[in-house]
Amino acid sequence: MKRTLTLCSLLCAGLLTACGGPSQNRTAPPGQQVSVRMAVIQDISPQSDGNPLPGILHSVQWQLSDGFKGYSTPHDVVNQLRLPNVEVVRVRIPRVLKTEGVLVAGNQNGTWKTDALLLLPSPEGQSPALDGSSLSKAQTTGPVSVPNVGDVDIYVSTDEMVCFLMTSQSLSLSKGDSRVRLASGVQAELQSAHGVNRLSYPYGSRTFLVVGNAAPSQLVSIANRYTPDRVFFSLEGHEGDGHVGVGT
């Protein structure tokens, strides 16, 4: 079944399935303001080298207000956060200056699928560092439930991206490089790998993660202020002392 979402639908939900087409010129005419009209998502082709990024990027076709149809490339990637079975990729959209995309992909039984596409304004002129005190001023997708992944909320600055993830999936997280005690008294695992830092701890029957290319000290500062209750309180079914009971 093929579904196509308009810009309004993308901003509200970000979930769609469809087929792509050929790419065109990536440069907008001088002085022309180009915006996203709609986007379509197609299945991710298996990658022989096991790297899902090229397939994830080519799974989303952008359709713009000037008639352009095309894809983001590895050169358009601003940030990439990799977890076992989950990829969060922030991209520039060809020819579009004031809007960026965030692609959330999950791996089910060895098959990658782009499960969510979220749009947010480009964070031009904002502080490049994300921490507990600056996060409230950063651009955010807002909390959403993503099928096959979990509940996510993503914040971005010019250079950094931080993703909150609440999941019931087994992420096969290895033991952290260190343990930290947060302001709430919770003991969290802190791990760094490939330029990405992540902080995690159990929350009821699920796992709460704070993941980003921000420094470990910044993630700790964020986790001290942003508890699961605060991040996901607006999602239906959230229970303060248990877990986010949202069907995905």
DSSP 65-127: TTS-EE---GGGEEEEEEETTEEEEEEEPTT-SSEEEEEEEEEETTEEEEEEEEEEE--TTS-
pLDDT for res 127: 72
CB of 200 within 8 A of CB of 222? no
pLDDT for res 213: 95
pLDDT for res 27: 61
pLDDT for res 128: 79
Q: How far, in Å, are 71, 93, 214 from residue 74 at the CA level?
A: 10, 11, 21
CB of 130 within 8 A of CB of 142? no
CB-based contacts of 206, cutoff 8 Å, min separation 6: 150, 166, 167, 168, 243, 244
CATH 3.40.1000 boundaries in the chain: 123-243
Residues of the chain with pLDDT under 50: 1-3, 5-24, 239-248
pLDDT for res 215: 94
- Quote the DSSP letter at residue 137: G
Identify the CA nearest to 104 among candidates 167, 34, 180.
Answer: 167
The H-or-E segment that residue 201 falls in is strand 196-203
Going by CATH, does the domain composed of 123-243 fall within 3.90.550? no
pLDDT for res 1: 33
pLDDT for res 89: 98
Tens digit of each residue's pLDDT (9 = 90 or more) over 60-94: 999 999 999 999 999 999 999 998 889 999 999 99
pLDDT for res 84: 83
pLDDT for res 77: 97
pLDDT for res 131: 94
Report pTM: 0.83
pLDDT for res 21: 40
pLDDT for res 105: 96
Neighbouring C-beta atoms of residue 47, cutoff 10 Å:
13
Output the average pLDDT for the chain: 83
